[in-house]
Chain A
Amino acid sequence: RKEVEQDPGPFNVPEGATVAFNCTYSNSASQSFFWYRQDCRKEPKLLMSVYSSGNEDGRFTAQLNRASQYISLLIRDSKLSDSATYLCVVTLNSGGYQKVTFGIGTKLQVIP
């Protein structure tokens, strides 16, 4: 089983739609969780951290389900500019270092 798994998509959604991505992780001791956004041919950029209580930033909501070992990202009222690849990131303290694992990313295409 991969350490971090994401559906690569693509998810094609119309403007204004609500779309949700999930990301599962295999190690129950994982500690920190993030969503990154990567535009085509650009570097990944931090979108938001994911907290146990869930967190919201405008149209974006991130949630963590430790019991089922997944994190989710919900985008409401999708915009054309939301088209990108969304990477989930999971960290784990291992051997005195912080091991960071990236998912392969979920591609979102918002269609006019």
Chain B
Amino acid sequence: DVKVTQSSRYLVKRTGEKVFLECVQDMDHENMFWYRQDPGLGLRLIYFSYDVKMKEKGDIPEGYSVSREKKERFSLILESASTNQTSMYLCASSFHRGYTFGSGTRLTVV
């Protein structure tokens, strides 16, 4: 089975901090995605990548950036964390059909 690993399950950061969320997949998938999930809003796509060093904006990229230096690793960066970025962050990997998600990182910005 594909495994998608997110480095942290829970994080608490202060407003203004730079935050790195790491995601690693072990099945050589080209496609990787970062979502955030909020009650009543569902999953919203932040950024995605279809290849190394390639990135595309999703629906809500503002305040975020990403890095894909290696195929297996896709990092989400919050340049200056704000309280409205408190959310569940989910990384996903895919090949043709269907996603495999990581277990999520619940980020709280205080």
Give the interface of A toward B (CB within 8 A).
8, 32, 34, 36, 42-46, 49, 87, 97, 100, 102-105
Task: Mark the stretch among B36-44, B64-72, B75-83 that contacts chain A.
Answer: B36-44
Whether the Cβ atoms of A100 and B42 lie closer than 8 Å is no
A-B contacts at CB below 8 angstroms, number: 38
Interface residues on B, range: 10 to 19
Query: How far is B3's CA from A45's CA once the two chains are assembled, in angstroms?
Result: 12
**Which listed residue, B41, B48, B101, touches A44 by the CB 8 Å rule?**
B101
Q: Decide: A87 and B42 in contact? CB cutoff 8 A.
A: yes
| B interface residues with partner A (beta carbon < 8 Å) | 33, 35, 40-43, 45, 48, 50, 56, 90, 97-104
B43 touches A102 (CB 8 A): yes
Q: Once the chains bind, are B97 and A49 in contact (CB under 8 Å)? A: yes
Rounded to whole Å, the gap between the CB of B102 and the closest CB of chain A is 6
For the residues of B in contact with A, the DSSP-based class is strand
Interface pair B42/A104, CB less than 8 Å apart: yes
Contacts of A42 in B (CB 8 A): 103-104
Q: How far is the CA of A87 from the CA of B97 in the complex (A)?
A: 16
User: B42 contacts which of A32, A45, A102 (Cβ < 8 Å)?
Assistant: A102
B98 and A43 form a contact (CB under 8 A): no
A85 to chain B, nearest CB (A): 10
Q: Are B104 and A8 in contact (CB under 8 A)?
A: no
Among B41, B43, B102, B103, max chain A CB count under 10 A is at B43
Q: In the bound complex, what is the Cα–Cα distance between A60 and B105 (angstroms)?
A: 30
